[in-house]
Structure 1
Amino acid sequence: MQGLRRIAGRVYLLPGSPNTVIVADSGRAVVVDPGIGEDRSTRILRALEELGLGLEALVLTHGHSDHLAAAAGLEAPVYAPRLCLGLVESSVLRRLAVYGGLVSEQLASMPLAEVKVDKPVEPGGSLPGGLRALALPGHTPGHMGVVDDESMVVAAGDAVLGERVLARFGVPFAADLEEWARSLEKLRELAEEGYTLVPGHGPVARGRRAVSMVDANLAAVERVRGFVLEKLREKPVTLDRLAYLATVSLGSAEPTPRQLLLNRTALASVLAWLEREGLAEPVAAGEGVAWRARIG
């Protein structure tokens, strides 16, 4: 089947955006992040047929539509992080968390897919096929990686992004960018140990290439944080204005309403981060809540 390839050992990749990882387990398969698209579930079943594998389980790294929508066309127990249950099972909660308020399906630009979770996974818990869950919060509160220590591969979901994705959007989407940076440090340690990293969006990387990819993500976080602090030092600014400035200054993506809402969510976490450190504070202003750098 075109596109299907072995990553290492018993782990295979079905490329896409997001990538889907298939782990062989004694004639059965664990599928990580089935993805999205009208024919995605069919492609996964064809890949399993080519590999001579039955479907044992579906594992979701987190609860965003692009990672879970194709699960509806596959019959297997669904495993997902406990803290992401609401996002997986409710499109309403998902939109509230991602956009900071309920938006239409048209504005969200994603199907309102909902998937029943059969097996909630605790941070650090075990998964079918001898896999383990690695807590990588930040992109979502319960985001996890799926680690195959036998093959030394980590399906990292959206805990790390390819450099082209970073360059395009400038502001990496995360519910909490401070937590995301800490999760990136975990992935950097694994990359240095020789693990192959499979990002949700971007190329598979190992060795120095994997370390470089993680470092690019860490640099993106620092760039966003520095940008926010610089703007707050100039004058008080609202979150909406900050989202617009960051969108046009840090990446190449167009400042569409959807992109501004996504960036608004990520930047809200940066403001909370700076407030916790005593570097920023909110003030009531005529245009709403404005943020300013804290002096002294």
Structure 2
Amino acid sequence: MLIKELGDKPLKSIKKLGKRTLYLRGSPATLIYISDNCVYVVDPGVGSKRAKKLRSIIRGLNKDRIMCLLTHYHSDHIAIAEKIGCSEIWASYQDSLFIQDPLLRNYMTYGYPFIASKYFLYNAPSVKVTHVLNAPCKIGELEILHLPGHTLGQIGVLTDDSVAYLADSFFGSKVLEYAGIPYHFNPLLALNTLEYVKEEIVRDVETLVISHGPILNREEGRSLIEENKHRIMKIMNIVLDELSKSPTSIAKITLKVLRALNANISHTSLMLGMV
């Protein structure tokens, strides 16, 4: 069943990106790819209303096999993975453990084994990963990319109708403006991934999708990648400059960085910035 066979009602809430690829707006955005015999849902997201909407879309596609691909372990990407009717849930071997264990997930996300906190942006239950993958690889018609940095096992998805879902490898300008510090578990790996995406992925696809930001064409993608690279390097320079002056705490450095970037300062931004 092709996208045009969905009917008008489901299409009011989603955008067609290619012959077989749909985009559901959100933060994070969700990608839906329809093959001849199954539906792939990439990063379903969070919230009961979103789960209901995805279930409705999936029912309209009338496929027996529903596969959920989780790009990484963060709660806002995985919270409703088990609530949309998926028969399979796939994730990278590096990140799958943290998807399944909320305590370890929060430890890796925030640097401390919180069980719960009012400062969490999102929280998610344990999600059972049924299939573990080792990127780069292929799953059906989809090419799975290894995009480490934001997390060590983050993956992206490349479709055969020229759409690349690049997860949290980089962020939209509004996110950078508000958050100040783009969250990356390993900023050096993130810089390498940005260069890889710019040189190897952007040139070959028509449409780029990031989890938190607008849909991009090639030129917009290149520009936003450079903006993200510049932000990471600027933060690294601020940190090195502060450390060269005198010993100080991570909290004080994080606060200086957020102020230098005129970013929002809150308990949550400090928690994430200090990781």
Question: Do both share a fold (TM > 0.5)?
Answer: yes
Residue 49 of structure 2 is aligned to residue 39 of structure 1: yes
Report if the CA contact (8 A) 1:139-1:175 is conserved: yes
Offset of 1:79 from its aligned partner?
A: 0.3
Normalised by the length of structure 2, the TM-score is 0.90
Give the equivalent residue in structure 2 for 1:272: none
Offset of 1:142 from its aligned partner?
A: 0.5
Residue 120 of structure 2 is aligned to residue 108 of structure 1: yes
Equivalent residue letter for 1:242:
I
Please list the CA deviations of residues 70-100 of structure 1 after superposition, one character each: whole Å capped at 9, or x if unmatched. Answer: 1121232000011001210011011101111
Equivalent residue letter for 1:121:
L
Please list the CA deviations of residues 197-226 of structure 1 after superposition, one character each: whole Å capped at 9, or x if unmatched. Answer: 110101111121111111111111111111
How far apart, CA to CA, are the structure 1 residues paired with 2:72 and 2:92?
7
3-state SS of 1:8 partner: coil
Give the equivalent residue in structure 2 for 1:134: 145
How far apart, CA to CA, are the structure 2 residues paired with 1:35 and 1:17?
8
Q: Following superposition of structure 1 onto structure 2, how do residues 1-296 of structure 1 map, counting pairs within 5 Å?
A: 1=10, 2-75=12-85, 76-103=87-114, 104-127=116-139, 129-148=140-159, 150-189=160-199, 190-253=201-264, 255-265=265-275
Equivalent residue letter for 2:184:
A
How far apart, CA to CA, are the structure 2 residues paired with 1:164 and 1:261?
20
Root-mean-square deviation over aligned CA pairs: 1.6
Q: Provide structure 1 residue ranges, at least 5 long, that are not aligned to the other structure.
A: 266-296
Equivalent residue letter for 2:133:
V
Moved over 3 A (4+): 49-55
How far apart, CA to CA, are the structure 2 residues paired with 1:234 and 1:3?
53
Aligned length in residues:
262
How far apart, CA to CA, are the structure 1 residues paired with 2:236 and 2:194?
16
Offset of 1:154 from its aligned partner?
A: 1.2
Equivalent residue letter for 2:121:
S
3-state SS of 1:175 partner: coil
Report if the CA contact (8 A) 1:48-1:54 is conserved: no
Please list the CA deviations of residues 145-172 of structure 1 after superposition, one character each: whole Å capped at 9, or x if unmatched. Answer: 1111x11211111112111111111110
Please list the CA deviations of residues 222-261 of structure 1 after superposition, one character each: whole Å capped at 9, or x if unmatched. Answer: 11111112222333222121111112222421x2222111
Moved more, 93-102 or 243-252: 243-252
Q: Provide structure 2 residue ranges, at least 5 long, that are not aligned to the other structure.
A: 1-9
Between structures 1 and 2, the one with greater strand share = 1
Identical columns (%): 26
Give the equivalent residue in structure 2 for 1:286: none
Moved more, 192-201 or 43-52: 43-52
Offset of 1:55 from its aligned partner?
A: 4.8
How far apart, CA to CA, are the structure 1 residues paired with 2:222 and 2:208?
9
How far apart, CA to CA, are the structure 1 residues paired with 2:71 and 2:124?
18
